[in-house]
Amino acid sequence: MTEENYLSDDLSKDSLEAPRFSCSLAGAYGTTLGLRDAVPILHSGAGCGIGQLFGTLYAGGQGAGGNEGGTSTPCSCLVEDHVIFGGETKLRNLIQSTIEVFNANFFVVISGCVPSLIGDDVNSIVGEFKNKVPIIHINAPGFKGNSYEGYELFFEAIADQLLTEKPLKKKLVNIFGVVPYNHVFWKGELSTVKKLLSSIGIEANIIFTEQDGLANIDRIPSAEYNVVLSTWNGHRAVKKLKKKFKTPFISFPNVPIGAKQTATFLRTVGDKLGVDLDIIEDVIKREESWTYRYMEYPGDAIILVRPNSYFAVVSDSNTAIGITKFLTNELGYLPDIVEITDNPPEEYHEKIRNEILDNLDAAFEPEIIFENDTYNIRKNLEDRPFQFLFSSSLEAPTSMEDFGALHISVSFPVYNKSVLVHNYAGYDGGLSLIEDLVGTFVGPL
């Protein structure tokens, strides 16, 4: 930072212009809503649910809240009276009535800033209901951290308050590191990963999106391995599970995009789980055969219109690694600059940097910057050669006039796409990324 700046350069504690994440309550809330048949109960001010409807759910690829989200989310709606007299009675009544009213089987109480500041004993209130229904408490005041912190807090609460030892099930893995809503393609990514692993005989418990989230959570301890698809998201969760249930984990830097990353992924996981090498190689061969034939179709458009183009990626770490490597290693594109916007803890920066640069098929290295502040993010993009900008939809309307670049929305927040099954994971996913990319420039040739 230059000396004329008035803010400190502590990335996690600074004031921030339009940061590309929300708070820990939001992360725990979005994660809970990623489960089916689970109800979040917010112990917070009345605006936290509707605020995150706009700022997490809509921002995560235009997801409406469903039955339990947004203004449907039970909330203690704390006001001054509770600040003075405490919010415990309100919370007790709210949990009781939510159990009576809601058509659901799992209840997740999430405490925000207010109860933390006024000192409500939420654990003991939640404890009163533990023998009635499956219920946990996540203490997630917004001032404690960002959305990604909320994801870790969710799994820590699950591990501490709910999970019990289960008999080991061979060739079952749990998938971690894909944060609902905050990784905007989460739904499609998880189901793609499940299908990929299934193709080599491994069953993946993707926890989210599928019916009866509670049952998926209950069987977490029976997995042979935990697979974490991130350099940092979900790492606290899998370490905790390792400590508690001795489940080893396999770490892969991102959700694999395209054939090359996917082959590495299948070999890595397959090897650990003792899958016959021939099975893995057969699958890879079969999938690559059609994938690379498909990659020939846009060949004329790419070669004639935008070959060897510079690109910028401004995204969460997982997305940045996957997209940068795919475009560089499979499409001959030139990585100009990568800005990481999800505020990974300092200790992971080196790892993320290495994962982007490792085996990167370019005659130069992209500049890699960790930045949370939208003003600085945009300053860093000025006067650069990139022709494509892969980022949040914040840049979408003015990417061409500001940076001379075509824009593709790939990272939180994404308001300009309805993301249902769309994603860049696996073999199809790499092709989807090509569709999105070529679609920005192609016309009659």
Partner 1 sequence: MSDNSEKSIDLNKNTCPNREQRANGTNVYYGKASKLLKDAKKGNLKCSERKFQQSGGCVLNFYLSVRVPTIRDAVTIFNSPVGCSSSALGYRELFRGIPVELGRPAQYNLNWITTNLSEDDVVFGASEKLKGTILEAERRYSPKAIFILASCTSGIIGEDIEGAINNLQPKIKAKIVPVHCEGVRSRLVQTGYDAFWHGVLKYVVEEPKKKQEDLINIASMLSYTWQDRLEIERLLGKVGLRANFVPEFATVDQLEVLSEAALTAPICPTYTDYLSRGLEKEYGVPYFLYPSPTGIKNTDEWLRQIGKFTNKEDEVEDLIREEHKIWKPKMEAIQDKLIQLGKNGEKIRILGSLGQGRLVNQLPFFDELGLQTPAAMSQDFDDLLVDQLDDIINKHGDFDIMVNTFQAAEQANITTNLDPDLTLTCPFQGGTWERDNNVTRIHSLRGDPDPWSMQTGYGGAVAFGNFLIQAFKNRSYNKTLSEKTPKSYNDWWYEQSDPLYYIEKE
- For 294, the enclosing helix (H) or strand (E) is helix 277-296
Task: Give residue for tokens 């999106």.
Answer: 209
**418 part of the interface to partner 1, by CB under 8 A:** no
Shortest distance, position 161 Cβ to partner 1, whole Å: 23
Between 77 and 442, name the residue whose CB sits nearer to partner 1.
77
**Binding residue for partner 1 (CB under 8 A) from 31, 32, 56, 319?**
56
**62 part of the interface to partner 1, by CB under 8 A:** no
In this structure, which amino acid lies at residue 83?
V
**Binding residue for partner 1 (CB under 8 A) from 73, 205, 230, 317?**
73
Binding-site size, partner 1 (CB under 8 A): 86
Between 8 and 123, name the residue whose CB sits nearer to partner 1.
8
Between 246 and 379, name the residue whose CB sits nearer to partner 1.
379
Shortest distance, position 317 Cβ to partner 1, whole Å: 18
Shortest distance, position 195 Cβ to partner 1, whole Å: 23
Do residues 359 and 329 make contact, with C-beta atoms less than 8 angstroms apart?
yes
Shortest distance, position 79 Cβ to partner 1, whole Å: 5
CA distances for 369 relative to 124, 234, 363, 382, angstroms: 44, 22, 19, 14
**60 part of the interface to partner 1, by CB under 8 A:** no
**184 part of the interface to partner 1, by CB under 8 A:** no
Between 134 and 332, name the residue whose CB sits nearer to partner 1.
134
**Binding residue for partner 1 (CB under 8 A) from 34, 49, 180, 188?**
49
Of 357, 414, 346, 345, residue with least CA distance to 145: 345
**Binding residue for partner 1 (CB under 8 A) from 105, 268, 416, 440?**
416
394-413: contacts with partner 1 (CB under 8 A): 394-398, 413
The pair of three-digit structure tokens given for residue 360, joined into one six-digit string: 């990167």
- For 372-376, the CB contacts below 8 A with 24+ separation are 372/11, 372/14, 372/16, 372/19, 372/20, 372/21, 372/341, 372/343, 373/14, 373/16, 373/17, 373/18, 373/19, 374/16, 374/17, 374/18, 374/19, 374/20, 375/17, 376/17
**377 part of the interface to partner 1, by CB under 8 A:** no
**212 part of the interface to partner 1, by CB under 8 A:** no
Do residues 199 and 430 make contact, with C-beta atoms less than 8 angstroms apart?
no
Alpha-carbon gap, residue 415 to 58, rounded angstroms = 6
**415 part of the interface to partner 1, by CB under 8 A:** yes
**102 part of the interface to partner 1, by CB under 8 A:** yes
Listed in sequence order, the residues at least 6 apart from 352 whose beta carbon sits closer than 8 Å to its beta carbon are 231, 232, 253, 317, 320, 321, 340, 344, 368
HSE toward the beta carbon, residue 391, CA cutoff 13 A: 32
**6 part of the interface to partner 1, by CB under 8 A:** yes
The stretch near partner 1 (CB under 8 A) out of 75-83, 124-132, 249-257, 296-304 is: 75-83
Pattern 268-307, partner 1, x by CB under 8 A: ----------------------------------------
Shortest distance, position 43 Cβ to partner 1, whole Å: 11
**Binding residue for partner 1 (CB under 8 A) from 31, 34, 35, 48?**
48
**83 part of the interface to partner 1, by CB under 8 A:** yes
Between 87 and 258, name the residue whose CB sits nearer to partner 1.
87
State how beta strands 388-391 and 406-409 pair: parallel
**393 part of the interface to partner 1, by CB under 8 A:** yes
Instruction: Give the E-state strand segments of 261-348 in sequence order.
Output: 310-315, 334-340
Between 144 and 351, name the residue whose CB sits nearer to partner 1.
144
**42 part of the interface to partner 1, by CB under 8 A:** yes
Between 67 and 161, name the residue whose CB sits nearer to partner 1.
67
Query: In the β-sheet with 249-252, what is the strand arrangement from edge to edge?
Result: 203-205, 169-176, 223-229, 249-252
The pair of three-digit structure tokens given for residue 329, joined into one six-digit string: 């290693």
**15 part of the interface to partner 1, by CB under 8 A:** yes
Question: Residue 224, Cβ neighbours under 10 Å: how many?
Answer: 18
Alpha-carbon gap, residue 221 to 189, rounded angstroms = 22
Alpha-carbon gap, residue 151 to 148, rounded angstroms = 5
The stretch near partner 1 (CB under 8 A) out of 99-107, 154-162, 228-236, 383-391 is: 99-107
The stretch near partner 1 (CB under 8 A) out of 77-85, 127-135, 250-258, 433-441 is: 77-85
